[in-house]
Structure 1
Amino acid sequence: MTSYFYPSHNDISELPVYVCGIGIRQPENPVKRNNAYGFHQLLHCIKGEGKVITENKKYNLSGGTIMFIPKGTAHELVPLQDQWQLFTIDLDGSGIEALLEALKLSKVRCETLADGDKFTRKFLDIFNLCRQEGSVLPWESSALAYDLLMQLHRDINIKGSNSDGQKYNQLAPVIQYMEDNYPSDMTLDKLSAMIDISPQYLCKLFKECYKMRPFEYLARKRIQQAKLMLIQEEYSVNEVSQLVGYNDCSYFCSVFKKHEGISPAEFKAVNCSSEEKLP
């Protein structure tokens, strides 16, 4: 059983990351790709057990595991159980190589996730978006794919006892709070108190782990959510501003343009125009 979608996008060459394909695969027989595969792949096992053979190594994939296979890497999927279900996503983009290098995903990796259901939900969000004929636009799936990669980075690179891992672990409650409560008012004092450190040290940790300050991280999360809301006709720019945590719509527009290069109104207009042209 295979249910796979290949979004058709135009003018996506400048996007740093975008989804080329996504779906649910249930290979009942071995699948061998001797030729170099054209996209970076994430494989997430949601049921059953199988193995992936690549670069003369064997990796077991069972429920809750995730595997990254770089572009151009020959590999083979071998089911070990009849009901082996995989979520797979194909990624590419103008900045994908640098992004994957920064996220320590430039080589084959197979990891067991602490919360596999969380990744299943994120894959489903992208999958459901991509199968909506006539409404798929590249920045929607791009934003969700970026979020997926960042979540994966947080979960698989904070393991271990090295100092970097300890820093990611220390920041984890703050990151989770920001992800869950991004529309809320936040202060450095409040965020730093959550993990019992000073505001100055919180900023230092963020710079070391994410190469940005806490409120830059928050702004990126808000803008990502704003983009998903702006493509829905029922929300005005002012309403989106309020929903993602900006009481001042003018300031929201300024932040949005700084991140995206166009205003929220222009983003919304382009989206509506693109949808009308779709069959």
Structure 2
Amino acid sequence: MRQPRKFSRTLTHHELILVTGGGGSITIGPKTYPVVEGMLYYIASGVHHSFEPDFAQTASFLTVHFSSARVKLVEGNWLIQDEQHPLALPPAQSLKDAYPALDLFQKLVDFWHAKLPGYEFMAKTLLQQMLMAIFVHVKKQHQSDAASLKVEKIIQHMHQHIGDKVTLTELSELVQLAPTYLSRTFKETTGYTVIEFFNKMKIDRAKELLIEGDKKVKEVSQALGYTDEFYFSRIFKRIEGISPSEYYSKNVHGI
């Protein structure tokens, strides 16, 4: 994440810019777009672009830069050709409700900065998964607004009750949908089941509490509605790949 200054440039590779906050405007080729949280901008190789900040609302971005190649099998031989033609992506689109793509974008950036063993291979894999999630989101944008609004209402309810337990019955009554239909709609919209999404939301909050450093793992567990500290730790490790104590040591003490 960075807080950019004014710039004007043309790159020899592709770039994806995800806005995480603030304001301003970005010009891609001949068209200018407002900088709004949740927007994804795609800049193809060779396309001139510029950014004009809004100093009253400092913008913050996550960015991914990448090149691509075309691999072909010709008469039994593999040929690899540099491929810098534009991808089939719009220059600007909203990813505000594209939860799988947003999650993969964040994971990709985190893996790259962490520089753990094998990070380059993992980054390539995550990039491919993220691009697929973005393409799927583009295709699904015809999905009914009513269903999306109900999912947003559920997620807002989860945020407000992050330290509690929620049930599918409770959420179904909240949005007046049958539990089975709600489960299917939520999965189609977010890529997660209701429980998976709520657990991920809790673990994201747990990471914030751990980095603040004034709560023990047991206290964090209890603050997020987990009565069993070891169950909380298992969920944390399943989602993050490391235990809460390891996460704390790595991010607070650099161990």
**1:107 partnered with 2:102:** no
Q: 1:69 aligns with which of 42, 62, 69?
A: 42
CA apart distance, 1:66: 4.3
Cα displacement string for residues 20-61 of structure 1 (whole angstroms, at most 9, x for unaligned residues): xx1143x3xxx43122367522356625xx55132xx41243
State the SS of the aligned residue for 1:231: helix
Paired residue type of 1:46? G
Match of 1:202 in 2: 182
TM-score, structure 2 length as denominator? 0.62
Cα displacement string for residues 125-157 of structure 1 (whole angstroms, at most 9, x for unaligned residues): xxxxxxxxxxxx859xxxxxxxxx9xxx9xx98
**1:52 partnered with 2:52:** no
CA apart distance, 1:219: 0.3
CA apart distance, 1:258: 1.3
- Of the structure 1 ranges 214-223 and 68-77, higher mean CA displacement relative to structure 2 is found in 68-77
Q: 2:61 aligns with which of 81, 84, 89?
A: 89
Q: 1:168 aligns with which of 148, 151, 156?
A: 148
State the SS of the aligned residue for 1:23: coil
CA apart distance, 1:67: 5.0
Q: Distance in 1 between matches of 2:207 and 2:41?
A: 27
CA apart distance, 1:209: 1.4
- Tell me which stretches of 4 or more aligned residues in structure 1 moved more than 4 Å: 62-67, 70-73, 81-86, 111-114
CA contact (8 A) 1:42 1:66 kept: yes
Match of 1:127 in 2: none
**Greater relative contact order, per chain length (Cα 8 Å cut-off, separation 6+):** 1
Match of 2:12 in 1: 36
Q: Distance in 2 between matches of 1:170 and 1:234?
A: 36
Q: 1:219/1:32 Cα in 2 relative to 1: closer, same or farther (>3 Å)?
A: same
Q: Distance in 2 between matches of 1:71 and 1:244?
A: 42
**1:193 partnered with 2:169:** no
CA apart distance, 1:216: 0.6
Q: 1:93/1:261 Cα in 2 relative to 1: closer, same or farther (>3 Å)?
A: farther
Which ranges in structure 2 are unaligned for 5 or more consecutive residues? 67-86, 97-112, 116-129
Paired residue type of 2:187? K
Q: Distance in 1 between matches of 2:15 and 2:35?
A: 23
**1:233 partnered with 2:208:** no
Match of 1:260 in 2: 240
TM-score, structure 1 length as denominator? 0.57
CA apart distance, 1:235: 0.9
